[in-house]
Amino acid sequence: MMKNVWSKSYFRYLLFPFGLVYGLISNLVRLSYLLGFRKVWRAPVPVVVIGNITVGGNGKTPLVIWLVLALQRYGLQIGVVLRGYKGKGGTYPFLVTRDTQAHQAGDEAVLIYQRTKAVVGVAPLRKKAIEAVLSHSAVDIIITDDGLQHYALARDIEIIVIDGERRFGNGWWLPVGPMRELKSRLDNVTVIIANGGRSLPGELTMHLMPGLAVNLKSGQRKPVKELDNIIAIAGIGNPERFFNTLHKHGVKPLKTISFSDHQSYDSLSLNELTSYGQILLMTEKDAVKVRSFSEAHWWYLPVDAALSSVATKQLLAIIFRVIPSVS
């Protein structure tokens, strides 16, 4: 379904009535908070929402990691909250630790913690996640991965990540197109960042840069182009971006296999994908889900968000304005 909403097929327009219903409900929900009919909770520290107005694979989580690390370099204490999509943590809210598994907290939460060691709180209600973070540590700012449409939470800054290649598809609401909210929503956000592709005036530009490939079993690192006989898999919002990254860096997999975002894996099914002498190469987001039963021929390719020095200064200047300790 996630992939189909980007389709250019005219048959999608048969779903137009459902798109109108989705849009009506979405607008009514937002309006109910704007007019005060529903209560908005404000955290005692600044809140930055990094979200999008389309579904699937825009690059929010790499940007969250980039921003957390950038702010940590200034000595700031950062809290991150997520709803824990596809996680089955049992009792919410809870804080991610080094022992937390992806099936408990969701793959993004575990990935962010492993990369940043920030205080990461998980709960379907982000208010509860923020309260858990604040009860654990005095943080200077909260960053929420996704949650643009979670209007019960007041936010000081809204950062929208756009897929610079796919942009907005046909521009229609789900399920006719990929839109959670229409493009006009961008008129009211703080920052727009285009990930890859083309950016328009007023948008900051971001790219995803691959690092060294990492062996899941041994931790060995090497340039990805040095790997041979690769079967590449990706269970992310936009698998083609991962496969295109491989091609751009001189890697030609024997086969590429796409899975749905947040796909669950098991050792048996993954081992069936490769034959003797072949390497299974996956995204870092997939790797956090399989680390506990990894095999010696499994590798992953981490990627990092990269912003120009100008974009970095502009974005951090906006963030610093809402943090009392640095403003």
For 268-290, write each residue's pLDDT tens digit. 999 999 999 999 999 999 999 99
**Do both 188 and 295 map to the same domain?**
no
Inside any domain, residue 43: yes
pLDDT for the residue 327: 58
**Do both 256 and 196 map to the same domain?**
no
Inside any domain, residue 327: no
Residue 57 Ramachandran class (φ > 0 left, ψ -120 to 50 alpha, else beta): left
Annotated binding site for ATP: 54-61
**Do both 285 and 151 map to the same domain?**
no
Inside any domain, residue 96: no
**Do both 168 and 38 map to the same domain?**
yes
Annotated binding site: 54-61
pLDDT for the residue 180: 94
What sign does the dihedral 87-93-98-100 (CA atoms) show? negative
**Do both 227 and 197 map to the same domain?**
no
**Do both 40 and 156 map to the same domain?**
yes
Inside any domain, residue 191: yes
**Do both 193 and 263 map to the same domain?**
no
Element (H, E) at 268: helix 267-271
pLDDT for the residue 199: 85
* Under 8 Å between Cβ of 131 and 93: yes
Residue 91 Ramachandran class (φ > 0 left, ψ -120 to 50 alpha, else beta): beta
Token reading at 196 = 């890859």
Inside any domain, residue 293: yes
pLDDT for the residue 1: 45
pLDDT for the residue 33: 96
Inside any domain, residue 1: yes
Calculate the alpha carbon distances from 159 to 55, 74, 171 in Å: 15, 20, 20
**Number of other CB atoms surrounding residue 167 within 10 Å:** 15
**Do both 181 and 268 map to the same domain?**
no
- DSSP structure class, residue 13: G
**Do both 230 and 190 map to the same domain?**
no
* Under 8 Å between Cβ of 164 and 194: yes
Inside any domain, residue 314: yes
**Do both 193 and 248 map to the same domain?**
no
Inside any domain, residue 127: no
What residues in the chain have per-residue pLDDT under 50? 1
**Do both 191 and 217 map to the same domain?**
no
- Per the structure, the complete domain to which residue 270 belongs is given by 212-301
- DSSP structure class, residue 53: S
pLDDT for the residue 89: 60
**Do both 285 and 164 map to the same domain?**
no
Structural domain tally of the chain?
A: 2
Tens-place pLDDT, residues 37-77: 999 999 999 999 999 999 978 999 999 999 999 999 999 99
| Three-state secondary-structure class, residue 120 | strand
Residue 296 CA to residue 283 CA, distance in Å, equals 16
pLDDT for the residue 56: 79
